[in-house]
Amino acid sequence: MMKTDIQSREDLYTLVATFYDKVKKDEEIGPVFHKIISDWDGHLERITDFWEQHLFGVQKYRGNPIDVHNEVDKKMDYSISARDFGTWLFYWMGTINELYEGKNAELLKFKARKMQTVFFVNMHEHKPKKA
């Protein structure tokens, strides 16, 4: 099967939906997503909005993803680890590689690596300090 590049919102939605199908089944990070997300359809649309903004400049996404990730970590009793972020990135990169190739696919992988670092460092800085 010939792969194409990510060219549209529909392509992004396919990527996001396929990615979350894998994440939901993961024994380590799947439970985090299942505990936090109750409206999967809405979540898939919101995350597609997020990536559409970062890839195509479409201004649909509303929110602060850093704050959201800090809240998730708090709800999970500050247990989100670098390993969890690594697992997330493993599925994201693998799903992109499985479905697409090209400039936009590579740009999404680059942006995901950068965001993973920023989100995790910020989350780590917001964990309660141990006495």
Give the domain CATH number at 91.
1.10.490.10
User: In this predicted structure, what is the pLDDT of residue 131?
Assistant: 60
pTM: 0.93
Does residue 49 sit within a domain?
A: yes
Does residue 2 sit within a domain?
A: no
Does residue 50 sit within a domain?
A: yes
User: Containing domain of residue 103, as a range?
Assistant: 9-125
Does residue 47 sit within a domain?
A: yes
Q: At 54, is the pLDDT very low, low, confident or very high (cuts 50, 70, 90)?
A: very high
Cα of 23 vs its chain's centroid, Å: 10
Does residue 98 sit within a domain?
A: yes
Between 128 and 21, the higher pLDDT residue:
21
Of 121, 126, 130, 30, the closest CA to residue 74 belongs to 126
Q: Indicate if the pLDDT at residue 1 is higher than 90.
A: no
pLDDT, mean of residues 83-111 = 97
Does residue 80 sit within a domain?
A: yes
Does residue 117 sit within a domain?
A: yes
C-alpha dihedral sign at 13, 1, 113, 76: positive
Does residue 4 sit within a domain?
A: no
Task: Report how many domains make up the chain.
Answer: 1
